[in-house]
Amino acid sequence: MGTKNISLPVELEAYVDAKVASGEYAHASEVVRDAIRAMMREEAEKLEWLRNAITEGVKSADGGPLISGKELVARVKRRGQEMIATRKAGK
């Protein structure tokens, strides 16, 4: 196992110390290892979500008509204008 020396801001150092003092962890290095593992899991979950979103988007594109960027902008503008008009009429 490798060794790294790290510097922590006071609030993170206090958090690590509190975890050790609570008995949840025996050493500060265990807290840091656990935090890194949690970060790795979170990154893997994000990557999986992105892959699924891309797959879903590709399937959606394959299954239906696509609109151009210009058409999308026009639709968004129209919708925005409709929303503004609705708000103004409600006043």
Distance of CA 52 to the CA centre of its chain: 14
pLDDT of residue 91: 62
Q: pTM for the complete prediction?
A: 0.63
Higher pLDDT: 89 or 30? It is 30
Q: 37, 31 in Cβ contact below 8 A? A: no
For residue 43, tell me if it sits in a domain.
yes
Residue 35 has which token pair?
């935090």
> For residue 67, is pLDDT > 80?
yes
In order of 21, 35, 58, 87, the CA distances from 3 in angstroms are 22, 16, 44, 62
The answer to the question of residue 39 being in a domain is yes
For the chain, how many structural domains are there in total? 1
Phi first, then psi: give them for residue 66, nearest 5 degrees: -100, 155
Tell me the CB-side half-sphere exposure of residue 50, using CA atoms within 13 A.
6
Token couple for 40? 């790795």
Contact 32, 6 (CB under 8 A): yes
Query: Does residue 35 lie in a domain region?
Result: yes
Full domain range(s) for residue 44:
10-65
Q: Read off the pLDDT of residues 2-60 as tens digits, 9 standing for 90 and up.
A: 899 999 999 999 999 999 999 999 999 999 999 999 999 999 999 999 999 999 888 88
